[in-house]
Structure 1
């Protein structure tokens, strides 16, 4: 009964939010374009993505009709970060390659959200600061990020390797490190929850391991709170199936744990 009430509330909230999006986007896009976008995006995207960001994403997806990929950044000085969005057709390893490119520029990922639409378009959004934790507004840096990302994501160059991890010592305490699997909450995906000490290049290292283990990240939520990174990845194998084999889950656990310590 509780689950049914929660689902009803979610449906009501999605309906309310999509109506607002239709009104705000109506001055910029045809109704068919807006409806196509909303119908293709997963429920979690419609529930939790800020409307201003959704409007940006609709515009990016329209541009994708004529471009191989679309990259956009927007400075948010009131929030202390720059928001980078990358939109591309089903680009395997998009999250990992983008995270690696940002880390190679000494840019820190505070949070990230990754989604895949029903028609195979990936939209990844990153909230990013400079190496000192403040907003980076140097346009030459972002032009370099965009150029390198285009080369990496179109296969013209290999993903850059981030420098050595810049860990911080915390005398007297060791931040929690954990890797947990959830195969019950979703009918389609295995959810991998990772907690570790945040450091430069961490997201790249995690996603690179998942990529190397032939796991496809359909969506992800990346959150940093203080010294801890708490990341959730919705994954399948390359056949779009959940990962249920216990031996394989154990191997995934061990390889992720090795890069987290």
Structure 2
């Protein structure tokens, strides 16, 4: 009997506003599947309040209870979730994540979107919101403001729908941008760029030491940053006595946006398989997570050094899933945000969206902005450098900017 495509993902929407909707995923298993699914839910702004995962090593059954927005596009959510699931033909054996063993897939086409328009407060966020709603992924951005009140936005983007080469898709993008900018567009252009252009646009793979120290002082000091810029009371324990085949990982921490994604991406990078797991939020936004895991070789984690390494990494990722700092650059003020990149080269979604929204809410203008990936230590990070407008940046305490951006990224606004 065949497995119906529509049964891979089943969504039961909530009967009442505020109640969770239920998403059921029933498909072949692979290491990192939970991470991929959580990333999609995070992209669509769905808040996971409870989750159950179980697998026999070949087939998995996952249930998410999510709180959504009234504007959630459920058909699109389902389409993206189904696309992330392995095909039924892969059920003959579990697929562990190994970058060198992945079947080669050509990278998505990169397009350069040039937008020249009259500037105003909040413009960059409004443009970013449109691009996100159209499923246009921002890979790099360069924004510069001119003295005459105009701004040139250069977005290097990929299209999830793979249609940006068509005139219809480009017109759809222009119309959406025109609506949100309120006829402020002077010129608009989209063109496909080759590898030679994207290569020339790449920043240096290494950041200057001064910038690294500004946003990564947590790793160079025994002292954590201030309480407001970390998630407190993170507890991670590991136990091998409750299961003959699995290591139990228990996590208790404060909830934040993308919490389950941060846990899943860490386990994915360590090539850890989850056989059974439960996640739920109690009163006071306190989360409790129980995960029965095993290594790629199908064995529990008994080596104390491996236990310690995984436990420490999980704790660090949950205390500071992103890094935020506001620093002085001579007479200028720069906002720095760093986002860890998965080994699969995927970064956390909607970071630039949240940054620009926080600055818009603070009524702070952006003079220039840049996104680039850099190697910091042994990891790749997506680094957002935003130069704030001199007049506005001086009127708001830098600590206030730092805290508001952090709260928006963590979903504590």
TM-score range, shorter chain: 0.5 to 0.7
Q: Note if contact 1:69-1:89 (Cα within 8 Å) is conserved in structure 2.
A: no
CA RMSD of aligned residues (A): 3.0
Aligned match for 1:148, one of 76, 80, 86: 80
- Give the structure 2 partner of residue 235 of structure 1: 293
- Counterpart mapping for 1:97-136 below 5 A: 97-117=36-56, 120-130=58-68, 136=69
More strand by share: 2
SS for the counterpart of 1:88 is strand
Q: Deviations over 1:147-175 (max 9, x none)?
A: 112233349899x99xxxxxxx998xx74
SS for the counterpart of 1:113 is strand
Aligned match for 2:311, one of 237, 249, 253: 253
- Give the structure 2 partner of residue 182 of structure 1: 239
Q: Note if contact 2:48-2:66 (Cα within 8 Å) is conserved in structure 1.
A: yes
More helix by share: 1
CA distance in 2, matches of 1:150, 1:207: 18
- Give the structure 1 partner of residue 273 of structure 2: 216
Q: Note if contact 1:195-1:229 (Cα within 8 Å) is conserved in structure 2.
A: yes
State the structure with more CA Rg: 2
Change (3 A) 1:245 1:175: same
Q: Structure 2 stretches of 5 or more lacking a match?
A: 88-104, 109-135, 138-225, 320-413
CA distance in 2, matches of 1:175, 1:257: 10
Aligned length: 183
Superposition TM-score, scaled by structure 2 size: 0.40
Q: Note if contact 1:175-1:228 (Cα within 8 Å) is conserved in structure 2.
A: no
Aligned match for 2:253, one of 175, 186, 196: 196
SS for the counterpart of 2:292 is strand
Superposition TM-score, scaled by structure 1 size: 0.63
- Give the structure 2 partner of residue 83 of structure 1: 22
Q: Structure 1 stretches of 5 or more lacking a match?
A: 1-61, 131-135, 162-168
Q: Deviations over 1:68-90 (max 9, x none)?
A: 97001102335811000011112
**1:207 and 2:264 aligned:** yes
Q: Note if contact 1:75-1:137 (Cα within 8 Å) is conserved in structure 2.
A: no
- Counterpart mapping for 1:45-60 below 5 A: none
Q: Note if contact 1:84-1:128 (Cα within 8 Å) is conserved in structure 2.
A: yes
**1:92 and 2:92 aligned:** no
CA distance in 2, matches of 1:67, 1:204: 25
- Give the structure 1 partner of residue 10 of structure 2: 72
CA distance in 1, matches of 2:310, 2:6: 32
CA distance in 2, matches of 1:73, 1:229: 24
